[in-house]
Amino acid sequence: MICRALLSSLVLASGLTVHAADWPSWRGPDRNGISKEAGWNSAWDAAGPAKAWTANVGIGFSSMVVSEGRLYTAGWADEQDTVRCLDAATGKLLWSHAYKEKLGNKMYEGGPNATPLVVGDRVFTVSKTGHAFCFEAATGKVRWEVDLGEKIGAKISDWGVSGSPVMADAKTLLLAYGPAGVALEAETGRVMWDSGSGKDMTFAAPVVAEFGGQRTALFFMSEELVAVDPKDGRKLWKSKFGQGYRTHCSDPVVVGDRLFISSGDDGGELLKVSGKGTDRVWKNKNLSTFTGTAVLIDGMLYGHETAGYKGANQELRCVDLETGTVKWGEKGFGQGSIIAAGDRLIVLSDKGELSVVRANPGKFELLARSQVIGGKCWTSPVLAQGRLYVRNAKGDLVCLDVRPKA
């Protein structure tokens, strides 16, 4: 897969050491929602996996990242955001950094949405109003901070800055701020380029890929998918997409010269990328993902179909990437999120029910299911080093022990 090969080369270029089963960034080591974990245990009874520890990290929807035995996430309480670093095995607080921030609870609980990014010995975060930070991963010492509102002045959308940061190369940090992103120098926080002060921000994170030899950063904005050169922000092409609320919470999924984009309001669309732009392969409402980005395994998309369904009736679906046809659908998963490891899907419903499903296009195959946490769960789970981490909107974080049984 081109995007996987590209990220691997960036990892080497940046000097990032990724342990075999670490989860150092949003959607995992290859930013495709797939863990490198092998041999983990999914043979649960109704009680579910054993809880190793619990913690409260504040209101929000920031997911977790795990690197070199440390877990990082963010939450809101007492009129401030707090970035926390916990011992991944015990839940012990190692360091935290708090700063004044608004809750931003329009139409939902609020709190930070973006997930931290670990690169080498640094951790990068961004708040809903555009405060970007670089910390020393081990100590929490602030290496730099940038108020993008002061530097650039882009108008914040109703839901604020929500896309998780991504490293485009060893030197360039990309953030979904402004109508087509902003790039910061990773070492100093200096603004390398920006896309202006227009108001156009969504929940989707930037995606870095390569098409026809051109390194490309994708920004999934409210009414179009925008492709830019990550070196200078030059627009390469754009593709119209969006209706309804146009929030676009799901990231583009890239494989070769194809990319899949999806929204709970506007269905799903497969595009073929050429040097001049995109051609539509298909568009329908067979996979309208919202809070969780689909995972792609052996040419099949697995994700939550949310259009036209409410509550528990929302389906987990398997859809053929090339044709857009539904291979199977199963109700009862709500507006949840999904990751994978090997041929197993790890699905967290919006009410905290955890399921393991075989990635099998021939049929729906449930392997395990249990209620592991309560409250609203829109945050993607994380699997790393034999532990599965889940969190809810009010900030309850649960670590589940899924190490192989002796």
Are 144 and 138 in contact by the 8 Å Cβ rule? The answer is no
Question: So what's the pLDDT on residue 242?
Answer: 75
Q: Is residue 240 part of a domain?
A: yes
Long-range contacts from 231-237, C-beta under 8 angstroms, 24+ separation: 231/172, 232/192, 232/193, 233/180, 233/181, 233/182, 233/183, 233/192, 233/193, 233/194, 233/195, 235/180, 237/273, 237/276, 237/277, 237/278
Q: One digit per residue, pLDDT tens: the chain, 406 residues?
A: 333 333 333 343 333 443 458 999 999 999 999 999 989 999 888 889 999 999 999 999 999 999 999 999 999 999 999 999 999 999 999 999 999 999 999 888 999 999 999 999 999 999 999 999 999 999 999 999 999 999 998 877 777 888 999 999 989 999 998 889 999 999 999 999 999 887 777 789 999 999 999 999 999 988 899 999 999 999 999 999 876 666 778 999 999 999 999 988 788 999 999 978 999 999 999 999 988 899 999 999 999 998 754 555 689 999 999 999 999 999 988 888 999 999 999 999 999 999 999 999 999 999 999 999 999 999 999 999 999 999 999 999 999 999 988 6
Q: Is residue 284 part of a domain?
A: yes
Q: Is residue 406 part of a domain?
A: no
Range of the domain at 196: 2-401
Are 225 and 252 in contact by the 8 Å Cβ rule? The answer is yes
Task: Count how many domains the chain has.
Answer: 1
Question: So what's the pLDDT on residue 310?
Answer: 55
Question: So what's the pLDDT on residue 5?
Answer: 37
**Which pTM does this prediction carry?**
0.93
Q: Is residue 345 part of a domain?
A: yes
Q: Say which CATH number the domain at 370 has.
A: 2.130.10.10
